[in-house]
Amino acid sequence: DTGVSQDPRHKITKRGQNVTFRCDPISEHNRLYWYRQTLGQGPEFLTYFQNEAQLEKSRLLSDRFSAERPKGSFSTLEIQRTEQGDSAMYLCASSSQGTGDSPLHFGNGTRLTVT
Amino acid sequence: AQTVTQSQPEMSVQEAETVTLSCTYDTSESDYYLFWYKQPPSRQMILVIRQEAYKQQNATENRFSVNFQKAAKSFSLKISDSQLGDAAMYFCAYTGANSKLTFGKGITLSVRP
Q: Is A91 in Cβ contact with B45 (below 8 Å)?
A: yes
Give the whole-number percent of chain A exceeding pLDDT 70: 96
Q: Is B45 on the interface with A (CB under 8 A)?
A: yes
Mean pLDDT of all residues in A66-89:
95
Given this model, what pLDDT does residue A1 score?
A: 54
Going from the first residue of chain B to its last (113 residues), give the mean pLDDT of each consecutive group of 10, the final group possibly shorter: 91 97 94 94 90 90 95 96 96 88 95 96
B9: distance to nearest CA of chain A, Å?
A: 9
Residue B17 backbone phi and psi in degrees, to 5? -90, 180
Per-residue pLDDT, A100: 66
Residue B56's pLDDT is 83
Query: Are A104 and A30 contacting, i.e. CB atoms less than 8 angstroms apart?
Result: no
Residue B70 near residue B52 (C-beta atoms within 8 A): no
What mean pLDDT comes out for the span A89-99?
A: 86
pLDDT tens per residue, range A17-57: 999 999 999 988 999 999 999 988 899 999 999 999 999 89
Residue A65 CA to residue A81 CA, distance in Å, equals 9
Helix (H, G, I), strand (E, B) or coil at A86: helix
Q: Which residues of B touch A45 (CB under 8 A)?
A: 100-102
A-B contacts at Cβ under 8 angstroms: 56
What does pLDDT average to over chain A? Answer: 92
Q: Specify the pLDDT at position B55.
A: 87
How many CB atoms are located within 10 Å of the residue B34 CB?
26
